Amino acid sequence: MQSTFETVKVAVENNIAVVTISREAALNALSSKVISELTALAAELDVDNDVRVVIVTGAGEKAFVAGADIAEMSQMSATAAHAFAEMGGVCGAAIEHSHKPWIAAVNGFALGGGCELALACDFIYASDKALFGQPEVKLGVIPGFGGTQRLLRRVGVAKAKELCMTGDSIKADEALRIGLADAVVPHAELMATVQALAMRIAANGPLAVAEVKRLIQQGQSTTLENGLALEQRSFGLLFSTEDQREGMAAFLSRPKRAAAFKGK
C-alpha cells in the first residue's frame, strides 16, 4: 500500500485485504473523512496485484458502521448535503465496480450509511448480533448513499419501501430471510467464516473472477440477449490469458495440481 489513513485500516495477507472502519468511539460512523479515505483505499486496492479479495468490517464489538455522521450532517445546507450524498455515491461505486470482490463482515450495527456500505459489497455476511436498517426517515431525510436503489435490488420493491418508510431495524435472521444478508453465523465465528469464503475466491483465476463480477453487475441493467452476448465475448477473451492456459494445464496434469494463477 502506498498511502496511510487515519480512519480506515488495512491488512493484507494471503491475497486478502481486511479493511477496518476505525472510529470505534463513534460506532464507526461515516464522516466525510471516512468516506474520502475509504474511496481512496478502494482505488488503491483495485490496482494492487497482491490483493484478490477485500473484506470490510468495523472496529470493536458493537458496530459495523452505525450510520453516517449525524453531528456533521446536522450543520449541512441543502447544497452541502447533496455534495455529501454524491461523495457517498462515489465511494459505493468504487466498491461496486471494483475488479475485486468485496465482502461485508457485518459485526454489529449496520444502520443508514452502514447498511448502504454493506449493500455496495458483493457479499454480506453477518454476525448473529448484527442489526440492519435504513432509519433516515426518523431524521426527516432519506438514504443518500444508494439505500433506496441497492436495497430494492436486494430485497424487492415492497420490502425496500417498508424498511425505508418505517425506518425499522431488523435482526440478522430477518435480514437473512429477506435476502439482505447472505449468511448469518455466531458472532465469534464471523471473521473466520468470511476469511474462508475469501480464500476460496482468491484461489481462483482473478481475471475470471473479475469478469464474473462485471458481467453480473451489467446483467442487472441490460436485456438477456445483450447479457449473453457480453458473456460470450468475455469467455472468448479469457482464452488469450496466461491464467486460462495455467488453469487448464493444472486440471489436466497427472497427478492433478492446484493452479498457480498470476492474474495475466
Q: How many domains does the chain have?
A: 2
For 25-54, what is each residue's pLDDT tens digit? 999 999 999 999 999 999 999 999 999 999
Cα→Cα distances 228→149, 235, 239, Å: 24, 10, 17
Whether 2 maps to a domain, the answer reads no
pLDDT band per the 50, 70, 90 thresholds, residue 112: very high
DSSP state of 119: H
Is residue 59 one of the residues assigned to a domain?
Answer: yes
> Are 233 and 146 in a shared domain?
no
User: Could you tell me the pTM of the whole model?
Assistant: 0.94
Could you tell me if 58 and 166 lie in one domain? yes
Full residue range of the structural domain in which residue 230 is found: 206-252
Are 105 and 223 within one domain?
A: no
- Active-site option among 13, 37, 44, 116: 116
Q: Please report, for the domain that includes residue 232, its CATH number.
A: 1.10.12.10
Q: What are 33's three cell numbers?
A: 473523512
Rounded to 10°, the helix 147-155/157-166 angle is 140
Which residues, including other chains, have CB under 8 Å from residue 231's CB and lie 6 or more apart? 215
> For 140-183, how does the pLDDT look when each residue is reduced to its tens digit (9 = 90+)?
999 999 999 999 999 999 999 999 999 999 999 999 999 999 99
Q: Are 16 and 198 in contact (CB under 8 A)?
A: yes
115 and 60 assigned to the same domain: yes
pLDDT of residue 178: 98
48, 151: one domain: yes
Q: Write b or e for each residue in 129-167: b if 16 or more Cβ atoms lie within 10 A of its Cβ, otherwise e.
A: bbbbbbbbeeeeeebbbbbbebbbebbeeebbeebbeee
Work out the angle at residue 197's Cα, subtended by the Cα atoms of residues 193 and 202, and round it to the nearest 5 degrees. 140
* Residue 52 within a domain: yes
Are 218 and 198 contained in the same domain? no
Cell of residue 172, nine digits: 440478522
152 plus 102 within the same structural domain: yes
Domain membership of residue 40 (yes or no) is yes
Do 214 and 245 fall within a single domain? yes
Specify the CATH number for the domain of residue 83: 3.90.226.10
Query: In this structure, is residue 264 part of a structural domain?
Result: no
Q: Is residue 219 part of a domain?
A: yes
Known catalytic membership, residue 174: no
pLDDT in tens, 195-210: 999 999 999 999 999 9
User: Where a domain ends, among 202, 223, 240?
Assistant: 202
19 phi-psi bin (left φ>0, alpha ψ -120 to 50, beta other): beta
Q: Active-site residue 189, yes or no?
A: no
| Residue 260: per-residue pLDDT | 93
Report the distance separating Cα 149 and Cα 209, nearest Å. Answer: 25
- Is there a single domain that holds both residue 218 and residue 129? no
Tell me, yes or no, whether 192 and 150 share the same domain: yes
pLDDT of residue 4: 86
Closest CA to 20 of 94, 127, 107: 107
| Catalytic residue chosen out of the listed positions 37, 96, 136, 174 | 136
Q: Under a CB-based contact definition with an 8 Å cutoff, are residues 242 and 262 in contact?
A: yes
Residues 23 and 109 in one domain: yes
Is 263 among the domain residues? no
The proportion of the chain whose per-residue pLDDT surpasses 90, expressed as a percent, equals 96
- As a whole number of angstroms, the distance between CA 10 and CA 5 comes to 9
Mark whether 217 and 196 lie in a shared domain: no
Domain for residue 112, yes or no? yes
C-alpha cell at 45: 486496492
